Amino acid sequence: MHPDFKETELYNFYINDKLSIVDIAGIKNTNSKEISRYLHKYNIPIRNRSEAVALSWSMNKRIFNTKQKKGKESPQWKGGKIKMNGYVMIYNKNLKQKYEGEHRIVWEKHYGKLPKDFVVHHLNGVRDDNRIENLSAFSKSKHPHNTFVNILKERIRFLENQVRGT
């Protein structure tokens, strides 16, 4: 639990703002059991199931009748970084699709603009390992032939030839 989590703050979240235990746990970056323990500790009355359901319905009515906040204003904002299919994606409001791969950003920062028909490949196959030494750019036509396994096979052949002296 966060040391700055005071009784008045918990009371305001739960009673005045009518947030659920799960919502408070999300705000404080902890779990709902921890929030429940603190509610008990501070003698804040916990809603029964029917009160929680009724409150949830009334809160949802209010949410749907108001304009949803987007981007940095949204309560779901995670700093503009998400994971998608194992890749780290970074928010960019200037793009049509709004997110771009962190691996592309890292590669372009070091080497300049990536040609249109090129892709950035993770050499070790780990999609969220965006260290520059793990990234390599290939044309889309050559990319499938340069998978991690093929790169290793090529390296093994090279080392075998060195051992044989050829």
In a shared domain, residues 85 and 55: no
Under the banding of pLDDT at 50, 70 and 90, the label for residue 3 is very low
Question: Does residue 64 surpass a pLDDT of 70?
Answer: no
pTM: 0.46
Q: Do both 93 and 134 map to the same domain?
A: yes
Range of the domain at 92: 81-164
What is the reported pLDDT for 65? 44
Core vs surface per residue 108-120: b (16+ CB within 10 A) or e? eeeeeeeeeebbb
Q: Are residues 40 and 103 in the same domain?
A: no
Q: Which residues, at least 6 apart from 85, have a Cβ–Cβ distance to it below 8 Å?
A: 127
Contact 24, 35 (CB under 8 A): yes
pLDDT band at 163 (very low <50, low <70, confident <90, very high): very high
Among 49-63, 92-106, 123-137, 147-161, which stretch is predicted with the lowest mean pLDDT? 49-63
Q: Are residues 86 and 53 in the same domain?
A: no
pLDDT of residue 146: 63
Residue 131, in any domain of the structure: yes
In terms of domains, do 45 and 101 share one? Answer: no
90 shares its domain with 132: yes
**13 pLDDT more than 70:** yes
Same structural domain, 85 and 154? yes
For residues 24 and 88, state if they share a domain: no
| Domains: count for the chain | 2
Residue 21 lies in a domain: yes
